[in-house]
Structure 1
Amino acid sequence: MNNIPQSKHYNLTHYQQRYNWDCGVSCILMILSTAQRKQFLNNFETICKEEGFGVSTWTIDLCYLLQRYNVRHEYFTQTLGIDPSYKKHMYYTRIIDKDERRVLRRFKEAKVRGLSVEQRTVDMPVIVSHLARHGPIILLTNASLLVCEICRKTIRERFGCFHLFCYFRNSKLPTDENKRYAGHYVVLCGYDITTRKLFYHNPEVRDGHVCRCFSGAMDTARIAFGTDQDIIFIYEKTNRKK
């Protein structure tokens, strides 16, 4: 990671999710300009209906939303479509039948529609390099494995950063029967190489503070089973906030 600043931070407008399913959409709202955010919120139900996802979003749905607002991005994932093994787990058995046709169609049509979708995983140096040079990042994580240092200290009596899980199930993970999967989108907005910390916006947080954790802890949460290592690189425009 040579020739990049020791630290970097993007000043995003925090947006708290309103429901137990819209963390991904809330991350999109943090990426959009003020005018775009206002337009989206004023037409929220209509847009969700037009996009076809209702109250169940997959990462490919977020990419179509970004394209809708002309936000340049790249989507990398371990699985182009839906991992067949997810059908064995309680949460996904409830949503795959409803979402499968839409999700597979959107993956199939992505290239024709001009979306950049690639079956590829990325490592932490690539993530930090993108933050340094291009813009913020939307990540799918297992929130059960991600603990914010600030939230743990300031709201110890609550549930840490996450008390509403966008995807929650009590199914058993292959690697550890006692771990829960809680799929949750966050927005990476900065890093500090000296302290090995990453900074991120968690849409569940009420007061809008920027969360932080060690890069290794974020890596564990983002590559966990169930996430497909989904990651969206955002390419920031200099006038995005205007």
Structure 2
Amino acid sequence: MPQEAAASATQALSTAATESGPSVSGEFLPGLHKLGHQKQLSTWDCGVACLMMVLSSLNRDHTRDTLLAALGTNSVWTIDLALILHEHGICFHFLTRSTGVSPAYKGIAFYRSQFDADAARVTRRFREARRRNLAVGVGSLEIADIRRLVELDACAVLVLVDARHLPHHFKSAAASAAAVAGSGATAAAPNAGALPPAQASYRGHYVLLLGYADDGEGGDGGGGGVGGAFVARDPAVPEEHVLIAATVLDAARRSFGTDEDMLVIDL
């Protein structure tokens, strides 16, 4: 998206965005009060877990089973999540590079097995979104714009990323395995099935961004004029929150296969 268009989109999403992040002191991290943590139960239901976090924070009636029934698939795309948010009366703005399915994605192992069925369903659901006049924009935002959005008290950003770029996934898996080995237990590491191998091909994954911690306050480097780390809920790991460096998030969300999808959700 051209710089002018990105600025316009950001203004439309948030006219009250601030120029600098809140300070962090002691154990406090900005944004964690917005919603609680929910772990995914399988390798594919990260989006479902993120929906559950949002719906719970807004006191919307739901169960995991009703959400799965509404989705009707275990190959979840962002438009699927957007329509469920709409059904629950939740306001959001969906930004994506493509309101369809790129044929090039058929060559990605992550998409290949269900590509034809996904392409037909996703096309239908984008048509449905247009009929319902949902807020769907074609484009993306710069990392600094995303920071301004998450610094709003009443906003969360659900982002599609390539999990290969998230080092905390592999640190969490290693730490869990070490803890099990040290205790002499034979149980598997918690939620280990949700953690992709570091050398795997593209691995789509959803995380919820809630706040921002500046350098020296929990962050470890940034990009695009932003230093520090995003405070996030990641349903793939047992930790209730994670810090994702701005440079890491930017690489993960721009990876080929994501369409740079994001849902900016009112809380």
Q: Same fold (TM over 0.5)?
A: yes
Q: Which residue of 2 aligns with 1:22?
A: 45
CA distance, structure 2, for counterparts of residue 70 and residue 185 of structure 1: 21
Corresponding pairs, count: 223
* Structure with larger Rg: 2
Q: Which residue of 2 aligns with 1:173?
A: none
Specify which of 44, 55, 71 is matched with residue 90 of structure 2. Answer: 71
Residues 36 and 69, structure 1, Cα contact 8 Å, conserved in 2: no
Distance 1:157 1:213, change over 3 A: farther
The CA deviation at 1:129 is: 0.9
CA deviations over 1:55-84 (Å, ceiling 9, x no partner): 121000000111111111111111111011
Q: Which residue of 2 aligns with 1:186?
A: 207
CA distance, structure 2, for counterparts of residue 64 and residue 79 of structure 1: 16
Structure 1 runs, 4 residues or longer, greater than 6 Å off: none
Unmatched runs of 5 consecutive residues or more in structure 1: 171-177, 237-242
1:197 aligns with 2:223: no
Residues 91 and 169, structure 1, Cα contact 8 Å, conserved in 2: no
Q: Which residue of 2 aligns with 1:40?
A: 62
The CA deviation at 1:52 is: 4.5
The CA deviation at 1:162 is: 8.1
1:103 aligns with 2:122: yes
For 1:126-205, what aligned pairs fall within 5 Å after superposition? Answer: 126-133=145-152, 134-148=154-168, 151=172, 154-155=175-176, 157=178, 163-165=192-194, 180-194=201-215, 195=219, 196-205=228-237
CA deviations over 1:120-165 (Å, ceiling 9, x no partner): 111111101111124111111111111129738854748x998435
Identity of aligned residues (%): 28
Indicate the RMSD between aligned Cα atoms, in angstroms. 3.0
CA distance, structure 2, for counterparts of residue 107 and residue 200 of structure 1: 28
Query: Please, what TM-score do these two structures have when normalized by structure 2?
Result: 0.73
CA distance, structure 1, for counterparts of residue 49 and residue 117 of structure 2: 22
CA deviations over 1:186-236 (Å, ceiling 9, x no partner): 111111123411111110122x42111211111111111111111111112
Greater helix proportion: 2
Q: Which residue of 2 aligns with 1:233?
A: 264
Q: Secondary structure at the match of 1:186?
A: strand
The CA deviation at 1:91 is: 3.1
* One-letter amino acid of the counterpart of residue 81, structure 2: L
Q: Which residue of 2 aligns with 1:61?
A: 80
Residues 164 and 202, structure 2, Cα contact 8 Å, conserved in 1: yes
Specify which of 108, 116, 131 is matched with residue 112 of structure 1. Answer: 131
CA distance, structure 2, for counterparts of residue 115 and residue 76 of structure 1: 11
CA deviations over 1:15-42 (Å, ceiling 9, x no partner): 11112211001001111135846x321x
CA distance, structure 2, for counterparts of residue 186 and residue 162 of structure 1: 16
Distance 1:91 1:148, change over 3 A: closer
